[in-house]
Amino acid sequence: MSPQQIAIALWTLVVKEIKRFTRIWPQTLLPPSITMTMYFIIFGNLIGSRIGEMDGYTYMDFIVPGLIMMAVITNSYSNVASSFFSNKFQRSVEEMMVSPMPNWVILSGFVLGGMARGLGVGLIVTVVSLFFTRLSVAHPVLTVLVVVLTAALFAIGGFINALLGKKFDDISIVPTFILTPLTYLGGVFYSISLLPDFWQGVSMLNPILYMVNVFRYGFLGVSDIPVGWALAAIFAFIVVLFAVALWMLERGKGIRS
């Protein structure tokens, strides 16, 4: 395919993915917005006012970046996992497989679609948060960079999950039993400096902690961990997972007999 044809194919796939999640917005865009509003009201407003400051900021200001990141992670992942798996289930993935579209374009199309939903929901949550607090962004470029990279990373993760999944249950296991606990324990609601030394050490093994902290650093200018190191780790994860997903696609794992 010529570069122009590749661009058309990629654009087709991305637009198709965006149309999919906007068509079913009551399932994709509305629920996370409502859930996050509940978090802002209950944790930020009602309970937060009794907690006091966290790392020198009001509790509401402290949890806003974490909650935005949580929405981005969950939605990027689940969009690709459910969309690609449903393509497998309905066999419409064959439309792409019989076409001359390179595998990296198929992978990138789904990842960009997942990122679009993750970032879209992140934006909605950010707008909702403005009803509860005044947001200030200390490092805008870093904030955008880290949220985009995180969306990409989890969208690729969702793709691998969908490739490996054999039934619908398989695409809900990872978000329920791995992603959600790691996110909750990733410093969304608290600073790890509150934890005893041992649990601080354990928390440092949680990759989501780095993403939440770098994102919070972008907003507030405070972080529990070194920012440069965290960015490098996110980038390395993206490269490795993209390569793994592409290799699986080339080998036809889960889609070719």
Which residue type does 23 have?
R
- Residue 226 or 252: the one with the smaller Cβ distance to other proteins is 252
Examine residue 196 and tell whether it contacts other proteins (CB under 8 A): no
Is residue 84 within 8 Å of residue 163, measured between CB atoms? yes
**Contacting residue, 75, 78, 87, 150, with other proteins by CB under 8 A:** 87
**Contacting residue, 90, 169, 196, 205, with other proteins by CB under 8 A:** 90
CA distance 52 to 27: 35
Examine residue 102 and tell whether it contacts other proteins (CB under 8 A): yes
- Residue 14 or 211: the one with the smaller Cβ distance to other proteins is 14
Measure CA 25 to chain center: 18
User: 22 to 41, contacts with other proteins by CB under 8 A?
Assistant: 23
**Contacting residue, 25, 95, 173, 194, with other proteins by CB under 8 A:** 95
Tokens of 20: 């999919």
**Contacting residue, 54, 96, 116, 162, with other proteins by CB under 8 A:** 96
Shortest reach from residue 250's CB to other proteins, in Å: 11
Helices (runs of H) and strands (runs of E) counted in the chain: 13, 2
Q: How many CA atoms lie within 13 A of 92 on its CB side?
A: 8
Examine residue 6 and tell whether it contacts other proteins (CB under 8 A): yes
Furthest-apart CA atoms within the chain: distance in Å: 61
Is residue 161 within 8 Å of residue 174, measured between CB atoms? yes
Q: Which residues bind other proteins (CB under 8 A)?
A: 1-2, 4-6, 8-9, 11-13, 16, 19, 23, 86-87, 90-92, 94-102, 252, 256-257
